[in-house]
A and B are shown apart, each in its own frame.
Chain A
Amino acid sequence: MLERQYTITNNQGLHARPASLLVQMASQSKSSVTLIKEGKEYNAKSVLGIMSVGAQKGDVISIRIDGPDEAETDTKIQALFKTNFGE
């Protein structure tokens, strides 16, 4: 199991586009991917799950990955955040 913290830097927070990218990435993974904000857990393979987090710019969230390809998924998700979802 891997867990990593991220700060949201997108102007509009995790809006439809970054949420879609994260979900597409998470859905390719064989592991479970969970987004955690203020102790609440959300399924990162659900675009509605992610959007209902309502994560705004500046919010700190964690992403927990648990499963056979967790390392690979973690690398991909890190890259997504590092490039600010291409924005």
Chain B
Amino acid sequence: MLGVGVSPGIAIGKAWVVKEENLSITQQSTRTPTEEIERLNDSLVSVRRQLEQIKERAVRELGDKAQILDAQILVTQDEELLGVVREHINAGKTAEAALESGVEFYAKILEGMDNEYMRERAADLRDVGGRIIRHLLGAKQQDLSNLTEDYIIVAEDLTPSDTAGMNKTHVLGFVTDIGGRTSHTAIMARSLEIPAIVGTKEGTSRIKSGDLLILDVAEGEIIIQPDSAQVAMYEKQRTRIEAEKQRLQKLITEPSLSLDGHKVELAANIGTPKDCTGALNNGAEGIGLFRTEFLYLNRDRLPTEEEQFEAYKSVLATMAPRPVVIRTLDVGGDKEISYLNLPKESNPFLGYRAIRVCLRQTDIFRTQLRALLRASTFGNLKIMFPMISSLDEVRQTKRILEEVRAELKQEGASVSSEIEVGIMIEIPAAAMISDVLAQEVDFFSIGTNDLIQYTTAVDRMNEGIAHLYTPFHPAVLRLIQTVIENGHKSGIWVGMCGEAAGDPALIPLFLGMGLDEFSMSAISVLPARELISRLNREELKKKVPEILQAGTAQEVKEKMGALGY
């Protein structure tokens, strides 16, 4: 079976399939109501205990965000709900049928509310209900937090809440039916350095729990129930990859220099303060993109200034004196935050997202900027604004930043005077006027994930057109070249923080174009450093015009391949 390999390596192990099974529920009981109530009470106690354990782990890993579990625990002892359930039992129903009716009764009420947040709580309620019903029926609890052996996790897709409580020490790999290089599963797998293949379409239908699997990420291949010869071959390959990793380890403290002595910066993209460890262990020279969305996701209200301050301070202090580029809130698009009650849009990637939200809901933005500026004295902070499409946005954004700075100064707070302010170039409009924008900012960071989707009009979440989504499209590469040139003309540095920055097939081209900073998944840093040490920057620079003359993505690949790196 084939998919898209998104986090490198080879995994060999047993499958754990996360699947919503259809539970068959008998309606009329053959037991007495007293017996049914006893069954119910037993299950309620056990499930409450399970939830408390999950909560303990979640509190350790997520802190404040675990609070949603409190409400779930309360549901297991809810007077009103259990009152309704007991009535159904007394009318002759089984405990599971009675519970299902009771849960549905309240879930429907929550769903009927004109408040997105409350509607989502209906899913939480059904989740607890399902947990109790599975316990009543003796069905296995599909809970990633309680893995006690090593498994390869197979699922339709994994959400941030699935992976938050997951016991990562027992996860050997991931296989999902849907998703691409930039889906949550892919990004998380890379940051955990766990092999993953996504977008297999039929993973959960073809793989059964307990099947032996081999994931060959380089080939995007999943072998189900391999024979012993295959296992032996892949074991050998895995050992070789490990040895290669060891060899690269030696480059951790080396600078990133090309063969002809040109220095670039290789930085890591991170999503939480904890990811700094991975960045440092992989020799990153800085953080080129700290996505701040984690502070806002999986919770029921906005993060306070203090919470944000602590997170920014922690990253800045851990990485100091290395540079840390922190991107302000990039919500909207595929990243929904229920408590902001943003209206559903038919075209969210072209809608109310990122800087557009921040410039309208300025209270949210100001809180984040206050936290960032206050944290600035703890390290080398650079602030970056996402989804810039016009000069007006840059000016407005900078004005707000200055207002916040003045406000803090008045309060007597200390703020670093050396904070660089930059923008993401991920919209073709911004790339086209990058000469103008360069005069207003201290740096550019090219966000290739969105730049590709906006330039080629290819939805990066749409499986059906995934083959059209490619960083090799000459239009994308010409825009990148334009941005780098315009940045350098104004004397500012230009980085890249999309997936393409870590792609060994493209690094030679970007180096030739003069890219100053490459920010990528931590695991890509050392291989990139090794590659760059073999490249001659001046020679590559001469090849760039010819490569950009290519008419198709395929021609670009061929021309790049002909360079022989």
- Chain A residues near B (Cβ < 8 Å): 11-13, 15-17, 19-20, 23-24, 43, 45-49, 51-52, 54, 56, 87
Contact = CB atoms under 8 A, between A and B. Distances in A.
B117 A52 contact: no
A48 B72 CA distance: 10
Contacts of A49: 78-80
Given A46-B80, A56-B115, A16 B121 contact: yes
Contacts of B423: none
A16 B78 contact: no
Interface in B281-308: 300-302
Contact of A15 (B75, B78, B109, B300): B300
B67 A16 contact: yes
Contacts of A52: 106, 109-110
A49 B182 CA distance: 40
Contact of A54 (B67, B70, B74, B113): B113
Interface string B57-76: 00000000001101100110
A45 to B, nearest CB: 5
B454 interface: no
Contact of A17 (B79, B118, B300, B302): B300
Interface string B8-51: 00000000000000000000000000000000000000000000
A12 B75 contact: no
A49 B118 CA distance: 13
Nearest to B84: A48
Contacts of A45: 79
Nearest to A17: B67
Nearest to A26: B79
9 contacts: A16-B70, A16-B121, A20-B71, A45-B79, A51-B110, A51-B118, A52-B110, A54-B118, A87-B301
Interface of B: 67-68, 70-71, 74-75, 78-81, 106, 109-110, 113, 115, 117-118, 121, 124-125, 300-302, 339
Given A11-B339, A16-B67, A46-B81, A24 B74 contact: yes
Nearest to B74: A47
Q: Which 10 A-B pairs have the closest CB atoms?
A: A46-B80, A16-B71, A47-B74, A52-B109, A20-B70, A48-B106, A49-B80, A54-B113, A20-B71, A46-B79
A28 to B, nearest CB: 13
A19 B125 CA distance: 14
A87 B302 CA distance: 10
Given A12-B115, A15-B117, A17-B71, A48 B80 contact: yes
A25 B108 CA distance: 26
Contacts of A43: 79-80
Contacts of B300: 12, 15-17
A56 B339 CA distance: 13
A19 B78 contact: no
A49 to B, nearest CB: 5
A17 B70 contact: yes
A60 B361 CA distance: 26
Given A13-B115, A54-B113, A54-B115, A20 B80 contact: no
Nearest to B67: A17
A29 to B, nearest CB: 13
User: Which of B71, B117, B300 is most buried by chain A, counting CB atoms within 10 A of its CB?
Assistant: B71
B30 to A, nearest CB: 29
B74 A23 contact: yes
Given A12-B115, A52-B110, A46 B121 contact: no
A54 B108 CA distance: 13
Contacts of A16: 67-68, 70-71, 121, 124, 300
Contact of A12 (B79, B109, B117, B125): B117
Contact of B121 (A24, A51, A87): A51
Given A16-B68, A16-B300, A19-B71, 6 more contacts: A12-B300, A15-B339, A46-B78, A47-B75, A49-B78, A52-B106
A11 B74 contact: no
Contacts of B80: 43, 46, 48-49
A16 B300 CA distance: 8
Contacts of B124: 16
A48 B81 contact: yes
Contacts of B106: 48, 52
Contacts of B125: 48
A23 to B, nearest CB: 6
A14 to B, nearest CB: 9
Nearest to A52: B109
A16 to B, nearest CB: 4
Nearest to B114: A54
Given A43-B79, A46-B78, A20 B118 contact: no
Contacts of A11: 301-302, 339
A20 B300 CA distance: 13
